[in-house]
Amino acid sequence: MNTLRRIAMIALWTLAGVGVLCGVVWGATAAGVIKPLIVISGSMEPGIMTGDLLIATKTAASDLEVGDVVSLPSELTDKLVTHRIVAIEAAGDGYLVTMKGDNNEFEDALDYSITGDVWKPEVQVPGAGSIVMRATTPAVAVPLLIGLVALLGLTLLLPAPEPRERTSRRARAQALNAEVAR
């Protein structure tokens, strides 16, 4: 029973740690400090693969250079497109950016007009985007939640291990000497 309780406690604390990490990521995302991005196409392969998780941070548009990989909102899809900058030029109070996916033959259909800050991927976690996508589907999330509740219940229902009586070395030595003296 003790072994089962220990395994349940290890699993519970591991999941609690993952939960805290998710909370920190959620908080940083809600505060606008980071933006997690899941790569859904092969346009940047082999450098950035489909299913990778990118963590982007805000960068001033004035700091961008040709060759940088950035995530900009597309007028065609209303979604962020993560591609490499192939040209950038000043345009009024902002910039006009031309981008192209590393694995694409041609530049993007439209140029991107930007001002202020843009998202620039700083961290790439290979394959983690696929895991996040799968874990957030109801078919996976609901059984995980049920399993977590079961683990919590298991740790609460199983009896706690009996505390062992602790004796000092001196007390053990005196007891041993008393036993030998008899």
> Contact 114/79 with Cβ under 8 angstroms?
no
The tokens for 152 are 């919590």
Torsional class of 160: left (φ above 0), alpha (ψ -120 to 50), beta (otherwise): beta
Q: What is the DSSP letter of 63?
A: G
How many Cα atoms sit within 13 Å of 126 on the Cβ side? Answer: 5
One-letter amino acid identity for 47?
G
Can 43 be counted among the known catalytic residues? no
Count of CB atoms situated within 10 Å of the CB of 52: 22
> What number of residues does the chain have?
182
> Contact 101/88 with Cβ under 8 angstroms?
no
Site of tokens 């030029």: 89
d(CA 73, CA 37): 13
The tokens for 143 are 């059984």
- Catalytic residue set: 41
